[in-house]
Chain A
Amino acid sequence: MAAIRSLIDRAGATVTWYRKTLTGRDAVTNWPGVTWRAAGDFDFRDFDCDDFLCNTVAYSIKAMFRPLGNRETDQHAGRLTEQRIQMETYADVEHLDRIVVAYTIYEVETEPVIHSHRGVYRYRTCMLVWVGEQ
């Protein structure tokens, strides 16, 4: 366990991880809302715990990345680029979480695969898809 974490700590990049939160369901579609908030979002009229980092939902984590390639598709509204990268990290990222790498936002597109060795959780592998610029 120590070796893999040590490798990710030494060779990985430091990125910002935004955990997703599922909010209340829409009255028509019944879909939950999905939000990603950074710690310290100072809401002037809603002075709450979030403003004091006591409910942090953004974290700095270490991760290793491997680019997988691009694909161009033409949608009705215009051309869309899909860029995917593979990420390895020992943070417990989940589907729909967002990772910001050098001001570029990626979303966890797949349910992460958990790697364990001798019954101990080691790290997770997942695909990230490029969303946009921060």
Chain B
Amino acid sequence: MAGTDPRTTIKTIVDNYIATNPIKKDDSLTNASVGSLWEGGPETLKHLFFTVDYDVVITFGEPKSRGRRRIQDVPVHFLMSYPFTVSTVDKPLMGATVCTAAEMQYKMTLALRMAVEAEAQSAVGATPAYTLSIMSDTATHKRVGGLDIWETTHTAEYETDYG
């Protein structure tokens, strides 16, 4: 049985939504450059923000899953939690700020909620069948390596039967 890694499914949902509903910079006119990657790639944070020049970076992390079967003879299904983190810094490094890190966070949170709501369940007859929702968001702010880094980790719950 062929199956798509749920992390790819979630990433595709987010990418497609942002492609059709671009996130705007502080001026509400210019599209922000949004990078979307699996967590753990070879590029450093500063390379992503200041060489590749992303304004927002979304990284899709490692999942946690648990099986669930309420009563006997009902098929097992799985609750899978997929964290993905939106990272932002003030851009550019020098000169007037055109992307304020804290403000970009809420624009992304809103966009992600709408993206997931629009694709909350798989198509009829899809294999595997799934239901998707954002269960929680945890926002942090820290000063590391000379940068103020704002991060919000969103946890999406992907419920599937794999049947």
| Residues of chain A whose beta carbon lies under 8 Å from any beta carbon of chain B | 22, 28-32, 34, 95-96, 111
Which residues of chain A are within 8 angstroms of B46 by Cβ–Cβ distance?
Answer: 111
B42 pairs with A30, CB closer than 8 A: no
A31 pairs with B41, CB closer than 8 A: yes
A30 pairs with B35, CB closer than 8 A: yes
Instruction: Give Cα A95–Cα B36 distance, bound, in whole angstroms.
Output: 21
Instruction: Give Cα A96–Cα B35 distance, bound, in whole angstroms.
Output: 21
Q: Is B65 an interface residue (CB 8 A)?
A: no
> Which residues 113-128 in B have Cβ within 8 Å of A in the complex?
none
List 13 A-B residue pairs with CB atoms under 8 Å apart, sorted by A's residue number: A22-B42, A28-B8, A29-B37, A30-B35, A31-B37, A31-B42, A31-B43, A32-B43, A34-B42, A95-B44, A95-B47, A96-B42, A111-B46
Looking at chain B's contact residues, the main secondary structure is: mixed
Q: Is B106 an interface residue (CB 8 A)?
A: no
Which residues of chain A are within 8 angstroms of B41 by Cβ–Cβ distance?
Answer: 29-32
Which residues of chain B are within 8 angstroms of A29 by Cβ–Cβ distance?
Answer: 37-38, 41
Which residues of chain A are within 8 angstroms of B5 by Cβ–Cβ distance?
Answer: 28
Which residues of chain B are within 8 angstroms of A96 by Cβ–Cβ distance?
Answer: 42
Instruction: Give Cα A28–Cα B5 distance, bound, in whole angstroms.
Output: 10
Further pairs besides A22-B43, A28-B5, A30-B41: 11, Cβ < 8 Å: A28-B38, A29-B38, A29-B41, A30-B36, A30-B37, A31-B37, A31-B42, A32-B43, A95-B47, A96-B42, A111-B46
Which residues of chain B are within 8 angstroms of A32 by Cβ–Cβ distance?
Answer: 41-43
Q: Mark B38-67 against chain A: 1 for CB-CB distance below 8 A, else 0.
A: 100111101100000000000000000000
Q: Mark B83-127 against chain A: 1 for CB-CB distance below 8 A, else 0.
A: 000000000000000000000000000000000000000000000
Which residues of chain A are within 8 angstroms of B37 by Cβ–Cβ distance?
Answer: 29-31
Instruction: Give Cα A111–Cα B43 distance, bound, in whole angstroms.
Output: 11
Instruction: Give Cα A55–Cα B44 distance, bound, in whole angstroms.
Output: 26
Given contact pairs A29-B37, A30-B36, A30-B37, A111 touches B44 in the complex (Cβ within 8 A): yes
Which residues of chain B are within 8 angstroms of A34 by Cβ–Cβ distance?
Answer: 42
Q: Closest CB of chain B to A76's CB: distance in Å?
A: 14
Q: Closest CB of chain B to A110's CB: distance in Å?
A: 9
Q: Which 4 A-B pairs have the closest CB atoms?
A: A31-B41, A29-B38, A30-B37, A34-B42
Residue from B8, B36, B37 whose CB has the most chain A CB atoms within 10 Å: B37
